[in-house]
Chain A
């Protein structure tokens, strides 16, 4: 019921905001989005206090929290139902989504000054889809939400974006849509080769895990082929090298609140789906392919960080560094250890908060300076002390400063992958290589901060540069507090994540 209520309230709110006058749309959307945000925080609290030891939604359906299943349609032999529910993996992601949406809406008040009702309506519509993605437990339903995210995103970039918005929007849409198609084909090859009668994710997990006698095509087991196709499909969303080039374009063109959602939540759809499908349903194959997948992760870490080093646009810097941070998630997932997989999931939350915070900081600066180029401004600390203070804190969070969420996520991943059985003797080497990311990230963020925030103030404007408004800084402060809270007490999320990760570790190879 709870999930349905969240979906319904947000959906009704979407309609309401679309119909409201532009003047009130921003405030109204913020008020409406506060409902699912507070609702999911309440659910989080209930989960934290009452659902200790809950298992994995896909592997032990009896343990699903806030579950609801209603029959819907029948496709041939396949039953499709409205089936939603949460576990320790999706609960934090759901809370991340709703909280970040509210904050992103507030952060849009200053920069978005035309067609507000449509902008905020689309933001809420995207929230509906995202809530659905993280709570759906039926493939059909899930896929509807999964694709449903693309439509508002496409429009938000394409209408409110920068000069090359059309190119970026189409690239984003086509790239991720083609990826979805390949994933869909790979998955359905498996669905049709097993005797599934339901498209519910737990049923799929059971069927794929016990599947036998699958056909072999060109010397490869269908399981492996499907795994690769699905990995490809989800990896575009993450994104990993070399499937990442849509991301910087989308980020640079997207308005800041949309970048916040894109980096903070949309990328996690990719890793969430990888965890649910590739690493839970096809865990055996994932273990076999661990080393090549880990290499992809490590290359993403270093490659993304090196590219961030070459950028001059603050948004591009953060965009490329997202590729780097998400590479850690891949490394953690393939480790198949409590700290590895749990850390990867934790890192999704941590990176969602920190990258959202970083983009918001860049946005607040851009609202004032109307430039994001590192060379165009300097000494902003003189004029916007609190914004810059939070910027510096956020940047150190991104660099993995202890007692902030990013360090916890990265440390867990390193700890989990350093002696991961799936990676064998390559484990310490690959982990150590990935760790070098923490040096490069310090390089480009410190460099960018030195050039833009410090030194003598200079910026070519014909107006006074003054501190940002309260409603611009408040979302930053909220996010920073969350980042610190999770860094000091990671068990706020990590404990429930572990509850739902440990069943995944027990299946398959059993290491």
Chain B
């Protein structure tokens, strides 16, 4: 397929823009922005072409470049896997990156920023790395690009390096995610050592499988008992399902770090120190999605392990709730959005854990759109407010920046989950999947699902509340500062991307109106069809990455079963009704408390709870304590030990020999008669010794 031939250019174009911006950006108009816009625009067009080709039923899974060829038993490769999932993700990443580049013209260039080449180089490298991650056909390649996006995140968070905050936040972001990546790396090495491959999907030639994928090998081992070729099981002394669970959980470490899930979520709010377009692109829509995308990418592996599924669902449900509560009291607009991002990724994890593969990908898609929109909207507000982010200094911006307001409102309605905006459809599906699988599945897994569901459901209320608290404080009421009374106007380069995203946030939910589809029988659940593929044959049979295959595994291996406590249709309606009702309740409470002309801080009524929430449950404090209160002092003690004991022994040995030398030197007195005495004495002793040993006496 021609589209697949040109697919590597999707990754390479932004990489070229990185080089151009870095080395020639200062000699170009707009500091390299045009290179980035051209490159991401080109990538977007190519991605559309790829998506259309995939829509025609073609998929692609080929090795592109052999990283190492010299070890025959295990070759490490770079390859492309283009199937509906990666094609969708390519579209998301290219679109958001393209829009963010344009928005940056308003946010960075128009604000008189220096260091623009560095900024656009960072964006270019990030986009290239992210796209490389998305198309990766094996786990090692995915890991490598996963790390590279981490580097770009570091560079862009720390973009304003002359201040104290950004470098510190950048360090924290890289370090916390690195901690997760440590487990991920063990998982990668372990999966290669176990299966001898890291392929996500089998490579076929003419219908024959020439290279099997690791999820399929794992499936054969568990389902068919084909464990003979897996030497690793003997090394670790575990059964296949047990060991694969361990491997899955290790990889999950990287997911938890990158997708900012509890307990490694603490870096994301700090990452807001970076420029706002960066927050929109990296820390909301794409890089943070990498973790969730990875779980979806190797879903055939996770579906084999009920334990891993339960852990994913519980982490997700808990994070969704936990982060939402922290978002309730924040005063800075980007902080609210940051906690909201953590919370929303929690929903995706909840969906993945509870068997809602489509729901997770759906929510990932809608969230990428509406959260990028909200961040860019916040960016527009921040431009208007001369980089003051405190919502208590805003107010009344509704009339002064209508484009920003209406698009932001669309994004907020989507985030809160109000029908018919995008977030309603996806979040509803997430909760619905968790609910029915929680009722249907027996034993601990089902209980875990129901607990996770309950947490996710409660978070819906908080989401509605913090979202509209933000909307009311920012845009409604009277202006509470001089800048809010006379905000800086924004130009087309800000309004354009907002408008595109605003329209999408309103409409993109229609790609998968599953409840409507079920009720009316109309075949409008397009995303479902997209990821499911043809029921027989076609790409799902070749790649085994189709929904149908995953559902089979969930049902047969992990025993995830659907259950309808009220019957199918009433459950569907009840679930949607309850989550919509809670979201509306949250919005209404926010309206009651903050919609007035001159709202007051109600958070003080929370008392001690407010302190706890403002301090984010002391999560940061304990992690900083682990670093500076435990690890660093331990290093100091070890340093003392090294200087005192290890080196002390070395110096001690040399002192002993020096001391011994100085004593023995006294024999060298320089007096001839002494030497004569010693000579004679020595000769006598030698003779005596020889005599005794030789038996002369």
* Chain A residues in the interface with B (C-beta under 8 A): 171, 174-175, 241-242, 244-246, 303, 306-307, 309-311, 338-339, 342, 379, 381-382, 392, 396, 399, 401-403, 407, 411-412, 414-415, 418-419, 424-425, 427-428, 431-432, 435-436, 438-439, 442-443, 446-447, 449-450, 453-457, 489-491, 494-495, 497-499
Contacts and interface: CB of A to CB of B under 8 A. Distances in A.
Interface string B631-666: 110111011001000110010001000000000000
Interface in B167-182: 167-168, 170-171, 174-175, 178-179, 181-182
B636 A310 contact: yes
Most buried by B among A306, A310, A457: A310
Nearest to A432: B186
B161 interface: yes
| Chain B interface SS verdict (over half) | helix
Given A402-B143, A428-B235, A447-B171, A419 B193 contact: yes
Given A432-B186, A443-B175, A495-B70, A415 B193 contact: yes
Interface string B169-203: 01100110011011001100110111000000000
Given A435-B185, A455-B167, A425 B236 contact: yes
Interface string B138-181: 00100111011001000100100111101110110011001101
A307 B639 contact: yes
Contacts of A424: 235
A246 B171 CA distance: 32
B624 to A, nearest CB: 12
A490 B70 CA distance: 10
Contacts of B483: none
B70 A498 contact: yes
Contacts of A310: 632, 635-636, 638-639
Interface in B569-601: none
Contact of A446 (B174, B634, B647): B174
B74 interface: yes
A317 to B, nearest CB: 11
Nearest to A346: B68
Nearest to B161: A454
B517 interface: no
Contacts of A495: 69-70
B161 A403 contact: no
Contacts of A446: 171, 174-175
B697 interface: no
Nearest to B657: A174
Contact of A450 (B168, B186, B638): B168
A407 to B, nearest CB: 7
Given A435-B186, A498-B70, A306 B635 contact: yes
A490 B148 contact: no
Contacts of A403: 144, 148
Nearest to B190: A418
B654 to A, nearest CB: 7
B71 interface: yes
A439 B235 contact: no
Contacts of A418: 189-190, 193
Nearest to B171: A446
Contact of B631 (A242, A435, A443, A449): A443
A442 B267 CA distance: 15
A245 B185 CA distance: 31
B70 A414 contact: no
B28 interface: no
Most buried by B among A244, A306, A489: A306
A382 B69 contact: no
B147 A402 contact: yes
Given A339-B71, A443-B631, A450-B167, A455 B162 contact: yes
Contacts of A175: 650
Interface in B227-268: 231-232, 235-237
10 contacts: A175-B650, A306-B634, A396-B151, A401-B148, A402-B147, A450-B170, A456-B162, A490-B67, A491-B69, A495-B70
A473 B13 CA distance: 29
Contacts of A489: 67
A73 B33 CA distance: 70
Contacts of B638: 303, 306-307, 310
Nearest to B638: A306
A200 B192 CA distance: 40
B627 interface: yes
Contact of A438 (B67, B71, B166, B182): B182
Contacts of A490: 67-68
A450 B273 CA distance: 15
Contact of B654 (A174, A401, A436, A498): A174
B182 to A, nearest CB: 5
B73 interface: yes
Contacts of A456: 162-164
Contact of A494 (B68, B168, B654): B68
Nearest to A399: B178
A443 B185 CA distance: 17
Given A307-B635, A307-B638, A439-B182, A494 B174 contact: no
A132 to B, nearest CB: 28
Contacts of A499: 70
A309 B162 contact: no
Nearest to B645: A242
Nearest to B642: A307
B171 A450 contact: yes
Nearest to A426: B235
A171 B69 CA distance: 44
B634 A454 contact: no
Contacts of B74: 339, 415
A442 B635 contact: no
A415 B175 contact: no
Nearest 7 CB-CB pairs, A to B? Answer: A402-B144, A454-B167, A498-B70, A310-B639, A310-B635, A245-B647, A309-B635
A193 to B, nearest CB: 26
Contacts of A401: 147-148, 151
A399 B181 CA distance: 12
Contacts of B646: 241-242, 244-245
Contacts of B158: 454
Contacts of B143: 402
A122 to B, nearest CB: 25
Contacts of B178: 399, 438-439, 442
Most buried by B among A246, A412, A414: A414
Most buried by A among B145, B161, B174: B161
B531 to A, nearest CB: 29
Given A245-B642, A439-B182, A419 B174 contact: no
B679 to A, nearest CB: 30
A449 B646 CA distance: 29
B386 to A, nearest CB: 21
Contacts of A396: 151
B236 A309 contact: no
A379 B162 contact: yes
A257 to B, nearest CB: 26
Most buried by B among A303, A401, A424, A446: A446
B268 to A, nearest CB: 17
Nearest to A88: B70
Given A455-B167, A491-B69, 17 more contacts: A244-B646, A309-B632, A338-B71, A338-B73, A339-B74, A379-B161, A401-B147, A412-B68, A418-B190, A419-B194, A428-B193, A428-B232, A435-B185, A439-B178, A439-B179, A442-B178, A491-B70
Contacts of B181: 438
B435 to A, nearest CB: 38
Contacts of B654: 171, 174
